[in-house]
Structure 1
Amino acid sequence: MAGNNVSDHSVMQIRDEDRRDVVIAETVELIVSSIQGRIQQRHPLPACSCIFRIPNVLRRHNEKAFVPDLISIGPFHHGEKDLQVMEEIKLWYLHCLLDRKPTSETSLEYLVEAIKSMEQHCRDCYQERIDMSSEKFVEMMVVDGCFIIELFRKFAKEVPRSEDDPVFYTAWMWSALRKDLSLLENQLPWKVVDCLFNRTKENDKPESNALLPLALKFFNPSAFEQNPQANRPLETKHLLDGIKNSLLASYEATYKYCYWAPIPSATELLQAGVEFKRRSDTFDNMLDITFKNGVMEIPPISIEDNAESLFINLIAYEQCDPSIIYHNITSYAVILDNLINNSKDADFLIQKEIIVTKLSKEDIAGLFSRLYNDTVVGYFCYAELTKNVNAYYQDRWHRWQTILRRDYFSNPWSIFSLFAALLILGFTFMQTLYSTLSYYK
């Protein structure tokens, strides 16, 4: 009997182990099936992705600089309650465009069909999957795109403005629209805007501007007052990308992925004899900073209320888009932050008219210190400049020259005093020498 009990117990243990094996196998199968069902066969970031959500590591420093105040463009902020007022104005602008009938083929059906044919490309332009039906997505593209081109045409006075148009006759709207349309999260694929623009041209009245110059004309006051440059041979991806390419203009830098050290502030460089000059009288290329023979030439830049938002979104765009290798705007922000260490530095650059602004010197000093927090500068375009500036600053002879010029050659009286002191010292030396020689004689 005892032997039978032992045998039964062993059989039960075997059966329990078999059940556990079955349960484990079934669990493994379920987990594998779940993972396989969620595996992404497509690359998570399509090659044409160019419109990105701002990562939290950048957003946390200045949330307001990345979110729209007035209008939603594209899917990321679509439907937000605080932005619904502009939805009615968008539809009114669409009515204005269609009502003019710029071409015989201009109809809502024609425009919708054109955008529907490029829907997948448009979806791939966004970093993340857009959870919208095809109908809602295409509708949003058409309405937002038509609003943008109608806004640009009205701004350039290529089409009539209504006297009761709140966009043009409400003072605060201009600034808000320029800021919102330059946000990285608030972009449309350029292909959409360009398609709608070309399909709504007046055939019998050629427009004086192509789309990009028209867009840059609209953004010019808020884009650091730089003269619009639409001749850079690069494919435009969206409005913010068009602004970035315009700012780069014909700028050519020497890119080096190497160690680079910060440079001293403007007032510290002044003490070492560095001279600062405004590069030209025109706002042509703010990035073209040079240093030669102790002279730093910096092109003028206009800094107004929305400048921080534009700067931060351009920098975020450089950080997010893997196709952007050279971080020109980030490099520029680093240099200006180095030069402006406090309000005294900011005031000096304002007095030199290198920075043109209505903001206070304290605001300017704070602005540049916030621009590139938690960013990575890949190819730094001012590596050679910082190397030369630091070498000049560390040369003691330049500092001594500056002290001599400041303390002894700054005005005629100080020169006369130095000459008199040297004369007295010479006479004293001669008298001492004469007395010594007389003594030995």
Structure 2
Amino acid sequence: MTKSGNQEPKAREPKAKWKQETVDKLKVVMAAPVDSCIYKVPNKLRKVKEDAYNPRVVSIGPFHRKNPDLVDAVRECKWRCMLSLLQQTEDENKSHQCFEDCSDAIYDLDDNVRQCYAETIKYDKNELATIMLLDGCFILELFIRYHEAKKEKQGDGDEAKNVIEGDGSDPILKSKWMIAALQHDLALLENQIPFSVLVTLYNIVKPEATISVASLALDFFEPMNEKHIPDELGMDFKHLLDLLHKFYFPKPVPSEPSEISIPVDNSKLNDERSRCCFSLSRKVIKKSDESQTSSGHSSQPDDAAGNDKWGFDYCARELLESGVQLHIPSEKDENLLNIKFSNGGLSIPTLIINKSTSSIFRNLIAYEQYSLSSTNTVTSYAFLMKSLVRYPEDFKLLQERKIIKPHLIGEQEYLNQFKTILDEVVAKDDFCFASVRDQVNQYCESWCHLNKLQVYLKVRFLKEIRDLHNTYFTSTWSIISFLAAFALLILTSLQTYYAIHGPHK
């Protein structure tokens, strides 16, 4: 009995140890962040275009801090920027007090900062506080200097990039290339710090400022449309990428129902007319494709809609040839998501495209893919716009209609940038433009409207004129040959007429 009694506690030891290990693990899980907002990009998305998710010159936050490929000069510049930001006056006591207040405030944010990251942060409290203080001061000083330079040049952002004032030993802030690289890096999903860190530091350093951190940040990034940036914005942002998401892609406005009722199967007559005219339309499109092939342009689309459920069934050129008018809103519309279809016209607000637009879109989409609480607005917008632009001619058409406003980027570069933007992206159920898509697709399949027939005939007439020009008037000699042949035809006709109807003896 004694022997067995001694063995029973020993037998319990492994079980007790296992239970305790399980409890300890559960405690770690309970303490883990549940409202994280800064994620690492999934490998499937990263493999599509890795450069779009990796910083080029500067690391922000803990994820890329030890990246050896980043520019060493920027690491040194961070410390200079922090010194410049904290030394607001020549009074050493005030500067030291500013440093004390900022460091204390950041140090106390440790728990909140860690909850913002989806990955476990391996740095201790002191190291993480250093990262937040250093990166936060660097970002604020960069935003403030950029804003002041733009004000001196009366809002001319391109010239401001060349006159950003700073210490002569900080060439980064005077380099146009470096500013563009910083704009790219600060909009990356993995290269973020909590927005609350920036607000906390800014309120200490600039307690009487009349412009908010959010406004300074939006002023620094390249604009995506002509939306006005107010001096004061709310502070309900998780980080800089979330700020871009909420400012340019707010919650979608419910689509207004189309003013036109589109009957589809009212009668056999309408069915026959629809099939006949639609077949004619497709022949015109096919013929257009063949003419583009002969002129050296690719007749193959860059990509289909990307998903059977999302996007239009027709690209921009096909929509126009099917009787849909493409235009920007009659009144200035600052919401990119206000895409509407009414009375045969598709209204799309202007989108400004530059060399960093593709990277920003990819990171916004990755943010939506990871964040269940985020709306699906950017992903929906990307699907819709990608379905419109499948040929270089689509890009030119939208550019003529001022729907796309390219800045230092051509149609082929646009197609290359956005060709894979939706690869490995999971299409959720909440497509923001389902109503508009259905209205446009149904309108294109029905030929029962006088307005549509007029547009179709006008487009076809203009197309025939273009084909005639491309065939007979592409050079001076072809024009002379055509005129000579036409004159010969007239003279021959006159000779034949007078030979038949001339005076008879």
Please say whether Structure 1 and Structure 2 have the same fold, judged by a TM-score greater than 0.5.
Answer: yes
Return the offset for 1:243.
1.2
The one of 75, 78, 82 equivalent to 1:94 is 82
What are the residue-to-residue correspondences of 1:145-156 with 2, within 5 Å? Answer: 145-156=136-147
- CA pair 33-351 structure 1, distance change in 2 beyond 3 A: same
Query: Is 1:394 aligned to 2:381, yes or no?
Result: no
Contact 2:211 2:231 (8 Å CA) reproduced: no
SS at match of 2:69: helix
- CA pair 319-193 structure 1, distance change in 2 beyond 3 A: same
- CA pair 250-185 structure 1, distance change in 2 beyond 3 A: closer
Return the offset for 1:281.
7.8
More displaced stretch, 61-70 vs 110-119: 110-119
How many angstroms apart in 2 are the aligned matches of 1:234 and 1:319? 23
Return the offset for 1:332.
0.5
Contact 1:229 1:246 (8 Å CA) reproduced: no
Contact 1:212 1:242 (8 Å CA) reproduced: yes
What are the residue-to-residue correspondences of 1:142-221 with 2, within 5 Å? Answer: 142-157=133-148, 161-201=166-206, 206-219=208-221, 221=222
How many angstroms apart in 1 are the aligned matches of 2:440 and 2:18? 60
Contact 2:225 2:334 (8 Å CA) reproduced: no
- CA pair 178-281 structure 1, distance change in 2 beyond 3 A: farther
Return the offset for 1:377.
2.8
Using structure 2 for the length normalisation, give the TM-score. 0.69
Q: If you compute each CA radius of gyration, which structure gives the higher value, 1 or 2?
A: 1
How many angstroms apart in 2 are the aligned matches of 1:125 and 1:226? 29
What is the alpha-carbon root mean square deviation over aligned residues?
3.2
Match of 1:304? Answer: 354
- CA pair 275-234 structure 1, distance change in 2 beyond 3 A: farther
Q: Which letter maps to 2:458?
A: R
Could you report, residue by residue, the CA deviation over 1:86-118 in whole angstroms, capped at 9, with x for unpaired residues?
110000111112222499374322211111111
Q: Which letter maps to 1:347?
A: K
Match of 1:372? Answer: 422
- CA pair 252-403 structure 1, distance change in 2 beyond 3 A: closer
Contact 1:254 1:381 (8 Å CA) reproduced: no
How many angstroms apart in 1 are the aligned matches of 2:412 and 2:32? 41
Return the offset for 1:380.
1.3
SS at match of 1:356: strand
Query: Is 1:123 aligned to 2:118, yes or no?
Result: no
Using structure 1 for the length normalisation, give the TM-score. 0.78
Query: Is 1:330 aligned to 2:321, yes or no?
Result: no
More displaced stretch, 27-36 vs 185-194: 27-36
Return the offset for 1:268.
1.1
How many angstroms apart in 2 are the aligned matches of 1:179 and 1:79? 19
Could you report, residue by residue, the CA deviation over 1:212-243 in whole angstroms, capped at 9, with x for unpaired residues?
11111111x25455433687767111111111
Contact 2:365 2:379 (8 Å CA) reproduced: yes
Could you report, residue by residue, the CA deviation over 1:183-236 in whole angstroms, capped at 9, with x for unpaired residues?
1101111111100000001x6xx43311111111111x2545543368776711
Q: Which letter maps to 2:99?
A: L
Match of 1:246? Answer: 247
Contact 1:327 1:378 (8 Å CA) reproduced: no
Query: Is 1:53 aligned to 2:53, yes or no?
Result: no
What are the residue-to-residue correspondences of 1:357-368 with 2, within 5 Å? Answer: 357=406, 358-368=408-418
- CA pair 343-24 structure 1, distance change in 2 beyond 3 A: farther
Match of 1:266? Answer: 316
Q: Which letter maps to 1:339?
A: L
- CA pair 245-286 structure 1, distance change in 2 beyond 3 A: same
Contact 1:51 1:184 (8 Å CA) reproduced: yes
How many angstroms apart in 2 are the aligned matches of 1:176 and 1:164? 19
- CA pair 268-232 structure 1, distance change in 2 beyond 3 A: farther
Contact 1:190 1:237 (8 Å CA) reproduced: yes
Structure 2: segments with no counterpart, 5+ residues: 1-9, 150-163, 257-307, 466-505
The one of 299, 316, 322 equivalent to 2:366 is 316
How many angstroms apart in 1 are the aligned matches of 2:233 and 2:148? 26
Percent identical among aligned pairs is 30
Contact 1:267 1:345 (8 Å CA) reproduced: yes
What are the residue-to-residue correspondences of 1:258-297 with 2, within 5 Å? Answer: 260-263=309-312, 264-279=314-329, 284-297=334-347
